[in-house]
């Protein structure tokens, strides 16, 4: 193949610039538990179609931030605007119905259920028929089930977990459980996908697979992704922009290159006396 037409994936940041509308913005959010101030006056935005990383040392408030976004925690101060709508008080189920899905730092799946059933639970919000109709399983409810099953099969195919379709999730190795969890989040067809340490505890190959899935999710489904990750190599490669938190404060915000050169970030990671 000739070098002049070398085929490479279009670079991630270029793709992000082409996108651009703000999907979610967080303005001056503060959160405290008793005397512990988990988040102090944090502001940033997530643009449509980008991969936004939130990084920081342990206890910096990253997971708290995600919890605030999907309504699990309720901040004492500040405003969160999602798809142009401002809100103070959010509930996780509302967040889910508005198009926010997430995965957890410690896998939170139904361990006794199969991969298929676990991902199917992600479709619950989209099911229209009542419990009784589904139990009778006739006509419209049967057609609905088949439609959802089809959507789930596409996800199973996409994540390459066909071989464990019917395996109870509790029996799977950790890396695969993480993949199933991503599958369940995708099943809700989210606009914004929150990933809490999607690669924790994975070996290199699993990390590569997961990175590929994340990029492909963004590229093919146009899903916006916010992720927390400790592996800096992964973060720098994957994300378009990075927010850095330290002791609940935002200390930097920018492209991977900018963040890497930022003195405050270097200090936070290397550690200086506070």
Partner 1 sequence: MNSKSSAVEAGPLDTLPKVLLRNAAQYADRPAMRHKDYGIWQTWTWKGLCDEVRAFAIGLKKIGLQRGDAVSIIGDNRPRLYAAIAAVQSLGGVPVPVYQDAVADEMAYVLEHAEVRFAVVGDQEQVDKIISVAERLPKLERIVYDEERGLATYDPARLHSFKHVQDLGREEMRTNSGADAWWLAEIANGKGGDVSVMLYTSGTTGRPKGVMLTYHNIIVSAANGNKFDGFGPHDLLLAYLPMAWVGDHIFSYAQAYMGAMCVCCPESPETVVEDRREIGPTYFFAPPRVFENLLTQVMVRMEDAGWLKKHMFQYFLEVARRSGEQILDGRPVVLRDRLLYRLGDLLVYAPLRNRMGFSRTRVAYTAGEAIGPELFRFYRSLGVNLKQLYGQTEASVYITMQPDGEVYPDTVGRPAPDVEIKIADNGEVMFKSPGVFLKYYKNEAATKQTKTPDGWVHTGDAGFFDQRGHLKIIDRAKDVGRLNGGALIAPKYLENRIKFFPEVREAVAFGQGHDYVTMFINIDPISVGNWAERNNVSYASYQELAGHPRVEEIVAKRVDELNEALSQEPQMAGSQIRRFLILPKELDADDGELTRTQKVRRSFIAERYEALITALYDGAKERQLSIEVTFEDGRKGKIDGDVRIVDMKIYPNPSTEPLREAAE
Query: Interface residues with partner 1 (CB under 8 A)?
Result: 1-3, 5-10, 15, 150, 153-154, 156-158, 160, 162-163, 165, 204-205, 208, 212, 215-216, 219-220
| Shortest Cβ 8–partner 1 spacing (Å) | 7
Q: For tokens 């970030």, what's the residue? A: 265
Residue 190 three-state SS: coil
Contact 102, 187 (CB under 8 A): no
Q: Is the dihedral of CA 267, 232, 15, 187 positive or negative?
A: negative
What is the C-alpha end-to-end distance of the chain, expressed in Å? 55
CA 151 to chain centroid: 19
Q: How far is the CB of 23 from partner 1 (least distance, A)?
A: 20
Our CB check for partner 1 shows the closer of 4 and 21 to be 4
Q: Angle at the Cα of 94 (from 89 to 100), degrees rounded to 5? A: 105
Task: State the Cα–Cα distance between residues 250 and 96, nearest whole angstrom.
Answer: 26
- Write down the least CB distance from residue 147 to partner 1, Å: 12
Please, what is the minimum distance in Å from the beta carbon of residue 88 to partner 1?
Answer: 38
Task: Rank residues 28 and 208 by Cβ distance to partner 1 and give the closer one.
Answer: 208
CB of 195 to partner 1, least distance (A): 18
**Comparison of 81 and 114: residue with beta carbon closer to partner 1:** 114
Residues 161/180, Cβ–Cβ less than 8 Å? yes
- Shorter beta-carbon distance to partner 1: residue 37 or 165: 165
Nearer to partner 1, 27 or 209 (CB): 209
């Amino acid at each position: 193949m000739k070098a002049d037409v070398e085929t490479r994936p279009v670079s991630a940041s270029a793709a992000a610039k082409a996108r651009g509308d703000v999907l979610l913005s967080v303005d001056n959010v503060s959160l405290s538990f008793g005397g512990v101030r988990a988040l102090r006056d944090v502001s940033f935005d997530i643009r449509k179609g980008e991969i936004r990383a939130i990084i920081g040392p342990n206890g910096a408030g990253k997971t708290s931030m995600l919890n605030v976004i999907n309504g699990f925690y309720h901040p004492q101060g500040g405003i969160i605007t999602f798809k142009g709508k401002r809100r103070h008080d959010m509930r996780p189920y509302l967040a889910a119905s508005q198009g926010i899905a997430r995965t957890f730092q410690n896998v939170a799946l139904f361990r006794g259920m199969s991969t298929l059933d676990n991902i199917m639970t992600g479709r619950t919000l989209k099911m229209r028929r009542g419990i009784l109709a589904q139990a009778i399983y006739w006509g419209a409810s049967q057609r609905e089930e088949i439609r959802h099953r089809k959507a789930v099969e596409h996800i199973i195919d996409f994540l390459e977990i066909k071989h464990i379709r019917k395996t109870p999730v509790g029996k799977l190795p950790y890396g695969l459980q993480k993949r199933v969890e991503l599958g369940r989040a995708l099943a809700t067809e989210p606009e914004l996908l929150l990933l809490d340490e999607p690669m924790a505890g994975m070996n290199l190959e699993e990390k590569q697979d997961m990175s590929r899935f994340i990029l492909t999710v963004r590229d093919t489904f146009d899903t916006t992704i916010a992720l927390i990750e400790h592996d800096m190599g992964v973060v720098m490669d994957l994300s378009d922009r990075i927010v850095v938190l330290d002791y609940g404060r935002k200390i930097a915000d920018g492209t991977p290159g900018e963040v890497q050169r930022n003195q405050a970030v270097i200090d936070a990671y290397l550690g200086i006396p506070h």
